[in-house]
């Protein structure tokens, strides 16, 4: 069966909650499996673009009070915000293997400063005791309680990238990768603050790697399918062998796409073939939003001629303007908070009116807060500078 780009765009609109909005941040996150969390602002802006009643308060409540959303390192060593029930799936499918490699790398680097596995283990156990006694704490607060975290080791001596690295900067992140720590209660300052407080991780369910990978692929196909093996390999960071095994485990059904063979979940063919396109819709998605970052092959929703304007040199997407399932432009905020945007395609008066309404709605719930993406792109820089 052949699935057209238009059918995929209609499905994206519904399943990613861009045309039919979500009631809660948890629904918004689940609609795209996980929200990108490398830039703290992305979490709030991505959720806001999908919520019927956007604003920072419900997202903060889910992250810091209810803890139904959890910030964690996941696929490709990227920081994500995931629904709490998905934490064991992400950890066992992806993060555990990364943590083992990272631990070996950290031990090798810090051996130059006299640190070995036994010494790291001793400090880890101290950190766990301190958090149990004192509750959530910032890295600085933990460093005051456990001075060994503040020790610095000179690494790569004599090389151009020689540096002094604190033990805490590597050890706390490693403990989080191992599932021992979680980025916990609300940081000080505004919701844009990238600082976090470390806390003890809740007990995590055990899952075999193959089972966790099958569950994650099922989630991805439900949200992003149809997609290719290459899309999944890129998104997960797994080997092609692991991707193929997980696709087989969920009984994925092959379909024909413009870029080759794609896959959907059993039972999804009728949804793709028969579902009517939603009403015309526009969206302003932030830098690193999960929708434009969901596939490796993007031509079906992102014209190749726009890529240079909308991505940085590392492949990070900037703020994008969407119209009916396609990227048609970009947006930014000027220093005074004004939302500005530019269309890269001629999409007509109705589209311009819809985008203008989305920009006004975004400005309203931001309430004067100004967001500058952590990874800046050519069009975003130009717009924010008034060019």
Q: What are phi and psi of 6, to 5 degrees?
A: -65, -40
Nearest to 141 by CA among 117, 112, 180, 172: 172
Return the DSSP state at 93. Answer: I
Compute φ and ψ for 151, nearest 5 degrees.
-60, 145
The reported pLDDT for the residue numbered 274 is 61
pLDDT of 195 reads: 78
- What is the per-residue pLDDT for 273? 60
Residues whose CB is less than 8 angstroms from the CB of residue 226 and which lie 6 or more positions away in sequence, other chains included = 3, 8, 255, 257, 262, 263, 264, 268, 272
Residues found in the chain = 387
Cα distance between residue 325 and residue 7, in whole Å = 10
Label residue 239 exposed, middle or buried (CB < 10 Å: 0-12, 13-18, 19+).
Answer: exposed
Element containing residue 167 per DSSP (H, E): helix 167-177
- C-alpha 151/C-alpha 149 separation (Å) is 6
> What CA–CA distance (Å, rounded) separates 385 from 380?
9
pLDDT reported for residue 118: 94
Q: How far apart are CA 217 and CA 118, in angstroms?
A: 37
Q: How many CB atoms lie within 10 A of CB 288?
A: 25
pLDDT (tens, 9 = 90+) of the chain, 387 residues, equals: 899 999 999 999 999 999 999 999 999 999 999 999 999 999 999 999 999 999 999 999 999 999 999 999 999 999 999 999 999 999 999 999 999 999 998 898 888 788 899 999 999 999 999 999 999 999 999 999 999 999 988 877 777 777 888 999 999 999 999 999 998 777 677 888 777 889 999 999 999 999 999 999 999 999 999 999 999 999 999 999 999 999 999 999 999 999 999 999 998 887 766 666 789 999 999 999 999 999 999 999 999 999 999 999 999 999 999 999 999 999 999 999 999 999 999 999 999 999 999 999 999 999 999 999 999 999 999 999 988
For residue 165, what pLDDT is reported?
A: 85
Q: In the prediction, which pLDDT does 336 show? A: 92
What is residue 275's predicted lDDT score, i.e. its pLDDT? 64
CB atoms within 10 A of CB 109: 15
Phi, psi of 283, rounded to the nearest 5 degrees:
-150, 145
Task: Indicate the pTM of the whole model.
Answer: 0.93
DSSP 182-216: EE-SPPSSSTT-----EEEPPP-----HHHHHHHH
């Amino acid at each position: 069966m052949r699935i057209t780009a238009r059918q995929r765009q209609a499905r994206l609109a519904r399943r990613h909650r861009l045309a039919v909005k979500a009631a809660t941040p948890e629904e918004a996150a689940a609609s795209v499996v996980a929200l990108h969390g490398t830039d703290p602002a992305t979490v709030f802006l991505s959720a806001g673009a999908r919520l019927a009643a956007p604003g920072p308060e419900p997202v903060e409540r889910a992250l810091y009070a209810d803890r139904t959303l959890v910030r964690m390192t996941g696929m490709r060593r990227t920081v994500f915000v995931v629904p709490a029930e998905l934490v064991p799936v992400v950890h066992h499918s992806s993060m555990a293997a990364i943590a083992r490699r990272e631990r070996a790398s950290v031990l090798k680097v810090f051996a130059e400063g006299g640190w070995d596995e036994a010494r790291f283990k001793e400090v880890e156990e101290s950190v766990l005791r301190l958090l149990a006694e004192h509750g959530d704490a910032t890295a600085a607060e933990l460093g005051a309680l456990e001075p060994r975290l503040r020790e610095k080791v000179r690494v790569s001596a004599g090389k151009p990238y020689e540096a002094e690295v604190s033990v805490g900067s590597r050890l706390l992140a490693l403990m989080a990768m191992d599932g021992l720590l979680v980025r916990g209660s609300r940081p000080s300052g505004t919701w844009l603050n990238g600082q976090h407080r470390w806390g003890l991780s809740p007990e995590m369910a055990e899952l075999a790697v193959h089972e966790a990978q099958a569950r994650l692929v099922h989630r991805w196909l439900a949200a992003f399918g149809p997609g290719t093996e290459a899309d999944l390999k890129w998104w997960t960071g797994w080997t092609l062998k692991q991707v193929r095994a997980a696709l087989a485990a969920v009984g994925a059904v092959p379909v024909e796409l413009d870029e080759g063979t794609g896959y959907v979940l059993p039972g999804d063919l009728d949804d793709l073939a028969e579902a009517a396109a939603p009403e015309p819709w526009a969206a302003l998605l932030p830098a690193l939003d999960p929708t434009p970052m969901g596939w490796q092959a993007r031509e079906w929703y992102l014209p190749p001629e726009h890529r240079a304007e909308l991505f940085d040199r590392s492949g990070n997407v900037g703020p994008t303007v969407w119209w009916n399932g396609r990227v048609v432009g970009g947006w930014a905020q000027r220093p005074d908070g004004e939302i500005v945007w530019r269309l890269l395609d001629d999409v007509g008066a109705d589209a311009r009116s819809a985008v203008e309404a989305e920009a006004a709605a975004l400005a309203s719930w931001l309430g004067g807060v100004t967001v500058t993406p952590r990874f800046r792109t050519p069009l975003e820089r130009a717009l924010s500078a008034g060019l």
